[in-house]
Amino acid sequence: MLPKTLLAILILAASVANAADYDVIIRNGRIIDGTGAPWYRGEIAIKGDSIAAMGRRIEGTAAREIDAKDRVIAPGFIDLHTHARRGIFEVPGADNYIRQGVTTIFEGPDGGSPIPIGEFLDKIAAAKPAPNFATFVGQGTVRNSVIGSIDRKATPDELARMKEIVRQAMLDGAWGMSTGLYYVPGSFTPTEEVVELAKVAGALGGIHISHMRDETAKVRDSVRETIRIGEEGNLPTQVTHNKVLGQPNWGASVDTLKLIDDARARGVDVTSDQYPYTASSTSVTAALMPAWSLEGGRKEMLQRLQDPAARRKIINVMVDRIRNERGGGDPKNIQISSTDFDPSLAGKNLAEITRAAGKEPTPENAAAMALQLIEKGSVGGIFHAMAEADVERILRHPATMIASDGEVPVFGKSSPHPRSYGTFARVLGRYVREKKVITLEEAVRKMSSMPARRVGIRDRGMLQPGFKADVVVFDPATVMDRATFEKPHQYAEGFSHVLVNGVLVIDDGKATGERPGAVLRRK
């Protein structure tokens, strides 16, 4: 039995907690509410999973009071473009995201998602993630399930089956349909077919979010196609991870942003999102090999490579892409992020690997080396091929929001793009505080209310009584990304407190281990 004195203390503590007006009060902060409005000094009270009160001074008591110490209090950030199913089951705490203030993550981008959506979201719910979790349905996955990775038009019957899969995915809770028209089998899809599927998603309240068909020399045509899908599909449409790849194409963002402005002026609901880096990341296979060489899947690709004429034709395309597209003109700009056959390659660039094999790192030799790696297994890459001026121009645009295109890394494993650890903190530290590209209030809006409104989340993304208590506290003078391309496994700094659905997942800068995230299904 407990000593009477200790028992009395516990009873008193319980009665005080029960008598408290709120569960949490955050005091002495600078509130940036997510709307873009100027900050103001104020306090926030939370009860259960929702914001209960806001004001200059909250009268009342709470079971837990947090002194913000004049830091910023903001809505939790919403990331509309992640590949979080890579890692979320191994690391459901998603520390890389919550430590940079991200409280809601979206899966299913670039045309790829699990199906059925309902079963996938049930598995996510069982994993109990720390952040909230939502998904799109991927057009490429839908097409592959019906037609396979074949370069041809769908038959009327196949199109009807694909429409039904998209419809069911929307009923299961998807927030829209993503396309990856750069990737096989999305690259084999005529625009008209995409529009027909987009109509299904749009009729059920969804949006279209597109990894465009080309982000290099034909980037303008790709933006036009993305706009067309929204216009003819009668749904909101989004250019995801908006960028321009390849030195010959730098500066094209002037034209692509004008295309977005012109479309909006005539009533098309088109926006974009962006990660704040001059390097992209995808598989080396998808980045360097032509789509025709990938038709039919990996087995057929490997058979195709046994034909000397086909192999030479493929290498010629890869050489051109190293020179003019994702290679940025030099094999050293292609960094290996991961392989499933040789972990020691992670972090090395293609020039180093080529030189280690006794060859001069010319584009021709590097292309041949990349093909040898591809033949061994899966190879992820990071591609340094963008201009800082384009990054800043796109970030400044009022129709651009922030999204990481990241994943949930196993800490210390492989050499992933630092965007998984640093995207949101990097915007706040580098592009707000240091370079003053946008204001602090605008940055928070691009990370919170803008993505929430974009997909139709009605109770998150702003600080407002009645909204869910996804709240972050950060120091605008110290917030920064620590992850680099050389040392990516470093958490962001500057976030002292992060709450998801009213529960602290970061407390005084430390992860609590709590996993209160909800699976968000569109109704």
pLDDT digits (tens, 9 = 90+) for 425-437: 999 999 999 999 9
Pairwise CA distance, residues 167 & 1, whole Å: 60
pLDDT the model gives residue 19: 80
pLDDT the model gives residue 9: 52
Tokens for 66?
Answer: 């947090």
Pairwise CA distance, residues 181 & 199, whole Å: 17
Domain stops at, among 428, 456, 484: 456
Helix or strand (DSSP H, E) at 126: helix 117-127
Using 50, 70 and 90 to split pLDDT, how confident is the model at 392? very high
111: left (phi over 0), alpha (psi -120 to 50) or beta: left
Q: What is the number of alpha carbons within 13 Å of residue 433 lying toward its C-beta?
A: 15
155 and 261 together in one domain: yes
Closest CA to 484 of 416, 424, 435, 427: 416
CATH code of residue 269: 3.20.20.140
Q: Over 90: is that where the pLDDT of 16 sits?
A: no
pLDDT the model gives residue 500: 99
pTM for this entry: 0.95
Task: Give 3-state DSSP helix, strand, coil % of the chain, rounded to 5.
Answer: 40, 20, 40
Q: Over 70: is that where the pLDDT of 119 sits?
A: yes
Residues 6+ apart with CB under 8 A from 413: none
167 and 253 together in one domain: yes
Using 50, 70 and 90 to split pLDDT, how confident is the model at 14? low
478 within domain boundaries: no
Mean pLDDT (whole number) for 175-195: 98
Q: Over 90: is that where the pLDDT of 345 sits?
A: yes
Whether the Cβ atoms of residue 21 and residue 60 lie closer than 8 Å to each other:
yes
How many folded domains does the chain comprise? Answer: 2
359 and 431 together in one domain: no
**DSSP-assigned states of every residue in 256-325:** HHHHHHHHHHTT--EEEEE-S-SEEEEEHHHHHS-GGGGTT-HHHHHHHTTSHHHHHHHHHHHHHHHHHS
322 and 251 together in one domain: no
Tokens for 446?
Answer: 């691009």
194 and 169 together in one domain: yes
Closest CA to 38 of 426, 475, 445, 448: 445
Q: What is the pLDDT of residues 274-306, one digit of tens each?
A: 999 999 999 999 999 999 999 999 999 999 999
pLDDT the model gives residue 10: 52
Using 50, 70 and 90 to split pLDDT, how confident is the model at 342? very high
448 within domain boundaries: yes
pLDDT the model gives residue 103: 99
Q: What is the pLDDT of residues 445-500, one digit of tens each?
A: 999 999 999 999 999 999 999 999 999 999 999 999 999 999 999 999 999 999 99
Domain stops at, among 331, 348, 381: 381
Residues 6+ apart with CB under 8 A from 189: 139, 140, 143, 179, 181
The residue segments making up the domain with residue 372 are: 282-381
Domain stops at, among 381, 414, 429: 381
Whether the Cβ atoms of residue 113 and residue 137 lie closer than 8 Å to each other:
yes
